[in-house]
């Protein structure tokens, strides 16, 4: 019998600034941000491929920077702004990165896409005119098995050029 099962579950009320909204929820403290987003808050746009920090699929933005939600406790990011894929579009209009990804076929199965998009968003905010090498470096923690990354690279470049132009 696993020893950890006998332990009491400690729960905590957590407040997050999630996609610009204040949310408050009660959850076991050992549930990761990934689990809470998907299972308690209904934000299933955040995907997962390993839950061990090895694939980048679960990436969200914390304080505007990409972090792996499978390796974060909600209490560790309390009070800090968290952005998930659901918070990327401004209402009905896509973020230019979302538009470019859809347009160029940078999302095939789409499973890696939320993580890719959020990393790209934080990249373009810090560096509006990234070189190809900088884009590749920034996205190097996010695996994709469908696209060979080619269309993802093009889409980030396209979005960057459109964002700089406006």
Partner 1 sequence: MTVPDRTGSVGRSYPRLDGSAKVRGQAVYADDIALPRMLHCKILRAQAPHARILSIDASAARRLPGVVAIITGRDLPIRFGILPVSQDEAALEEHKVRYVGDPVAAVAAVDEETAAAACEAIEVEYELLTPVMTIEEALKEATDEPIQESFSRRRDNIHRLVSYEFGDLEAGFAAADHVREDVFFFQGNTHLPMEQHSAIASHVDGRLTLWSSTQVVHYVHRALSRVLELPMNRIRVIGAVHGGGFGGKTDPFAHEIVVGKLAMLTGRPVKCTLTREEVFYAHRGRHPTLLWYRTGVTRDGRITAMHLRTALDGGAYGSYGAASVFYTGTLQTVTYDIPAYKFEGVRVYTNKAPCGPKRGHGTPQGRFGIELHLEKIAHELGLDPVEVKRRNFVKPFSRTVNWLRVTSCGLEECTAKVLEASGYAQRERRTGHGMGFAISAYMSGAGTAIYWNDMPHSEVQVKVDRTGATVYCGAMDIGQGSDMVLAQIAAEELGIEPRDVRLVTADTDLTPVDLGSYSSRVTFMAGNAALEAARKMRALLVEAVADRMGVADLEEIDVGGGRIGEFSFEEACVIATTRFGALSTTGSYKPPRIGGPFKGSGVGPSPAYSYSAAVVDVEADPRTGIVTVGKVWIAHDIGRSINPLLVVGQVEGGVYMGLGEALMEEQEYRKGLHKWPSMLEYKSPTFLDTPPIETFLVETIDPEGPYGAKEAGQGPLLPVIPAVNAAVFDALGVWVDETPITPEKVLRALDAKAKGKPPRHGPRSFPAVPYGEPIRVDPPARDDLRVGAELEAAFGQTPGAH
Partner 2 sequence: MLRLPRLRYLRPASAQEAATVAEDLGTRAMLVAGGTDLFPNLKRRQFDPEILIQVPSLPGIVKEAGGFSLGATVTLAQAAADPGLQVFLPGFAEAAGLVSSPPLRNAGTLGGNLCVDTRCNYYNQSHEWRKSIGFCLKKDGEICLVAPGSPRCWAVSSSDTAPVALVLGATVELTGPEGSRMIPASALYRDDGMEYLAKEPYEVLSAIQLPAEPGVRTAYVKLRRRGSIDFPIAGAAVALKLDGDIVVSCRIALSAVASHPLEVPGAGEFLAGKRLDQEAITAAAELAAKPAKPLDNTDLTHFWRKKMVRVVVEQALAAAAARSA
Ligand X SMILES: Cc1cc2nc3c(=O)[nH]c(=O)nc-3n(C[C@H](O)[C@H](O)[C@H](O)COP(=O)(O)OP(=O)(O)OC[C@H]3O[C@@H](n4cnc5c(N)ncnc54)[C@H](O)[C@@H]3O)c2cc1C
Q: Which residues bind ligand FES (CB under 6 A)?
A: 48-51, 53-58, 68, 70, 107-113, 144-147
- State the Cα–Cα distance between residues 134 and 108, nearest whole angstrom: 23
Residue whose C-alpha is closest to residue 100's, from 144, 142, 156 = 156
Which region, judged by CB under 8 A, interacts with partner 2, from 51-59, 85-93, 95-103, 148-156? 51-59
Interface with partner 2 in residues 135-164 (CB under 8 A): 137-143
CB of 67 to ligand FES, least distance (A): 10
Cα dihedral 133, 88, 165, 141 in deg (nearest 10): 0
Among 28, 44, 53, 127, binds ligand X (CB under 6 A): 53
Residue whose C-alpha is closest to residue 33's, from 82, 83, 70 = 70
Bridge partner list, 17: 22, 81
CB of 3 to ligand FES, least distance (A): 26
* Binding residues for partner 2, total number by CB under 8 A: 43
- State the Cα–Cα distance between residues 83 and 148, nearest whole angstrom: 26
Binding site for partner 2 (CB under 8 A): 2-5, 7-10, 12, 28-32, 34-35, 48, 50-54, 56, 59, 62, 65-68, 70-73, 75-76, 119, 137-143
């Amino acid at each position: 019998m696993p020893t950890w099962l006998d332990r009491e579950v400690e729960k905590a009320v957590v407040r997050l600034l999630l996609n610009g909204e204040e949310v408050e929820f009660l959850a076991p403290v050992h549930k990761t941000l990934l689990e809470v987003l998907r299972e308690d808050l209904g934000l299933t746009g955040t995907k997962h491929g390993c839950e061990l920090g090895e694939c980048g699929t679960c990436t969200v933005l914390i304080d505007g920077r990409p972090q792996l939600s499978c390796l974060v406790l909600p209490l560790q990011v309390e009070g800090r702004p968290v952005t998930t894929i659901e918070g990327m579009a401004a209402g009905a209009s896509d973020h230019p990165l979302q538009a470019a990804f859809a347009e160029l076929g940078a999302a095939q199965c789409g499973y890696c896409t939320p993580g890719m998009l959020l990393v790209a968003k934080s990249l373009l905010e810090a560096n509006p005119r990234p070189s190809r090498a900088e884009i590749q470096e920034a996205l190097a923690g996010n695996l994709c098995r469908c696209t060979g990354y080619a269309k993802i690279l093009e889409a980030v470049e396209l979005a960057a050029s459109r964002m700089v132009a406006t």
